[in-house]
Every structure is written in structure tokens, then in C-alpha cells.
Amino acid sequence: MKYRTKLWTSISAAALIAASGAVAGMASSSAGEGAGSHADAPQGKPASGSFLVAAGEGEGEGKGEGGEGEGGEGEGGERGVDPAEAAKDPVAYLSALDVIRAHYLAGEAMLEVEGGRQAGGEMFAHPISEVYIDLEPVFEERGAPLFLDEMTEAVDLALGDAPADEVKAAAAKVYAAIDAAEETAPASDRSEAAIEAALMADMFDRAAKQYDTAMGPAGTDEAWIDGYGFWKVAEKRAAHLKLELGEEQAGLAEEIAAAEELFANAYASVEKPGEAPVEAGTLLAASSRISLKTGSF
């Protein structure tokens, strides 16, 4: 609690309001949405929104990483961050960072939507309270660069109506910090492909569950935007993994290709459609097949 209070005192007013609003919204909608919404790389220099995975690091599919509040799992794509798990499980650690990245990718997309600036700023703010605050002690312990200030700057600029290019430049700093933090993930004896597969499967799972939540009777735009961000990270992870797959993983490659087509059609836009473009069950089934296939690593 003392550590949390210390962190909150360093957050600007704009970021605090947005992040607090995310928590309040999460609480008000959890009863109707099953906690499914906020109430929730290749060598060379990465481009904005890209990512790196430390070779040979990552293990298993993360349990309870990167999502709502302090631990526990929701029924939707948002799940609670468990700092103790992230400190020892590379996939839990890296997946939590993917959740932060997903919010920033979704927030950037909202900047291009008419009237979407507020939602974009809130997307930037959500992972401050939902992920970062609980993980900063882990970052410090592992020698990762801290990036609360970078996140706060992005929120301030987005909510303060700064030019879009300035907001995107601030988001790029967050991506760079995430890339650097990924390099300090706990070690593992699993292959890079196995790590990537587990991370990709987790993001497909989150995207599918958020889609199901968003298109349900109590679905919200916020849940949809979250799901869109998860899909964009899943897409990036899939692109990287496919380069690592051999003939023995041909079945997984086929499932990934099929899922990419389905999810691209489902999440054609960061704006929630009036009707579901794809049946939620179809996405959930595709995600489940990927999870089963990735279990072979």
C-alpha cells in the first residue's frame, strides 16, 4: 500500500483522473460484464508499436498476468496482474507488458477516430493502474527501466489536446521502454519459438474473450477497444512466430493463418460496429485451437 501511494503521488492530474475513471468504470460494469472490460522481434531497430523478445526467455502460458487490478482472473480478456508470478515466470512477465502495449496500440488507433481523443487518452491511462503500478517493483528488482513518466506524458498530451504527432511520439517512448523491459524477463530453458507461441496464444485468447464481452448484451465500446488492442498484439506476435516455425509445426501455422483472417475481419476497425461481423463463438474456437497447438512446444 505504501508503494502504491508513493507511485500515485507521482502521477499527473490528467493521468490520475483518467486512470481513476478506468477503475471506477471497471467496478460499475463488472457485475454485468464478467470483468471482461475495464469497467478494463526481428533484429534491428523496432518501429513504433513493435516488440522484442529476449531469446531463450519465457515459460508456459501466463496465469493471471496483465489486466485488472491486483490479481485474480476475470471471465473476459482482461485478467489480473500477479507480480509474484511475473517475477519468476517469463511469460507472465512478458504478457503483462503485452497488455500495456495493447492499450497503447488501441489508444493510438483511437486518435485517428473523430471524437476519439478522450478514449485514446484513457486507453493510455488504464494500464497505469491495472498493470504498471503492481509491476514496478518487479521492474526495479530485475533492473528494467522504469517508465511511469513516459506513460503519464502520453496521457497528459492525449487528454490535453496536443497535436497527434506529439502524442504518438510520446507513445513511441512507451513502446521503447516496453522493449527494454522485455529484455530483462526472467530466464527460461524454453525456446524463443515456444515463448512466442505462448504469448501469441494468450493475446488471441484475450482478444476473443473481449470480443465476446463487447458484443454481448452489456457490451461496451471500451471492451471492444481493449479487444482490438489485444488483437493487434496477437497479430504482431503471430508474424514473428511464423518465421520460427518448421515443418513439424505446419498444423499450427495453418491455424494461425486461419485465425488471422477471422480476427482481421472481426476487428476491422477500432470502432465498435453495430452488429458482430463474426460470430463470437468462431473466434473463441479459433483461439482454443491455437492454444492446443501451441501446447506441443
pLDDT tens column, 131-145: 999 999 999 999 999
Per-residue pLDDT at 214 exceeds 90: yes
pLDDT category of residue 15 using cuts at 50, 70 and 90: low
Q: What is the pLDDT of residue 16?
A: 58
Rounded CA gap, 12 and 119, in Å?
18
Q: What is the pLDDT of residue 11?
A: 56
pLDDT category of residue 147 using cuts at 50, 70 and 90: very high
Per-residue pLDDT at 46 exceeds 80: no
From the list 220, 219, 195, 223, the residue with the least C-alpha distance to 207 is 223
Rounded CA gap, 26 and 283, in Å?
24
Grid cell in block for residue 185: 524477463
Buried b (16+ CB within 10 A) or exposed e, 241-259: bbeebeeebeebbebbeeb
Q: Phi and psi at residue 161, in whole multiples of 5°?
A: 60, 35
Grid cell in block for residue 225: 477497444
Q: pTM above the 0.85 mark?
A: no
Evaluate whether 18 touches 161 at the Cβ level (below 8 Å).
no
Query: CB 267: neighbour CB atoms within 10 A?
Result: 27
Q: Which helix (H) or strand (E) holds 82?
A: none
Burial of 148 (0-12, 13-18, 19+ CB in 10 A): middle
Evaluate whether 202 touches 237 at the Cβ level (below 8 Å).
no
Per-residue pLDDT at 54 exceeds 50: no
Buried b (16+ CB within 10 A) or exposed e, 16-36: bbbbebbbebbeebbeebbbb
pLDDT category of residue 217 using cuts at 50, 70 and 90: very high
